[in-house]
Amino acid sequence: MASAIELSFEVTEQERQAILQPLMAYNISQCGENPFETFGLLLRDPASQEVVGGLYGKISYGWMFIELLSVPESMRTQGMGSRLMHAAEELAREKGCAGIWLDTFSFQAPGFYRKQGFSEFGHIAGYPPGHTRHFFQKHLG
């Protein structure tokens, strides 16, 4: 009897782990252990000290992935985004990363990342409809 495929929109953590664990075991057999490290570069409001933006990422397999970058309107055009990217690059170099990669949408900041020395290595046109998702990388020499 063939295995059945069941669609679920309410996948439990246990079911997710049942999919993830064999994949992780295979990846480890091919590449070795991959301890990853998450980090954040936090922007705080000077008055309240609340986090109002920043950069969040992960270091894995000798590369840094920048998952989130957010600069509040009140801090834009002051070089804060560039400062965050520079700090992330310094951290990547300290951690011995070969490079940094990230993704962004056409309505966000592809031009900003190009100015930071990143090159596009792929894109998905029409994601979301009417826009493009861009993938960038920067090799650290």
pLDDT tens, residue by residue, 39-74: 999 999 989 999 999 999 999 999 999 999 999 998
> What does the pLDDT look like over 110-119, one tens digit per residue?
999 999 999 9
pLDDT at 76 over 90: no
> What does the pLDDT look like over 3-25, one tens digit per residue?
899 999 999 999 999 999 999 99
Q: What are residue 67's phi and psi, to 5 degrees?
A: -85, -40
What are the DSSP E strand ranges found in the chain? 37-44, 51-60, 63-70, 99-105, 119-125, 132-139
HSE-CB of 140 using CA atoms within 13 angstroms? 18
What is the pLDDT at residue 94?
98
**Cβ atoms of 117 and 85 closer than 8 Å:** no
Question: The tokens of 1 are what?
Answer: 């009897």
pLDDT at 92 over 90: yes
Q: Does domain 35-139 have CATH number 3.40.50.20?
A: no
**Cβ atoms of 72 and 50 closer than 8 Å:** no
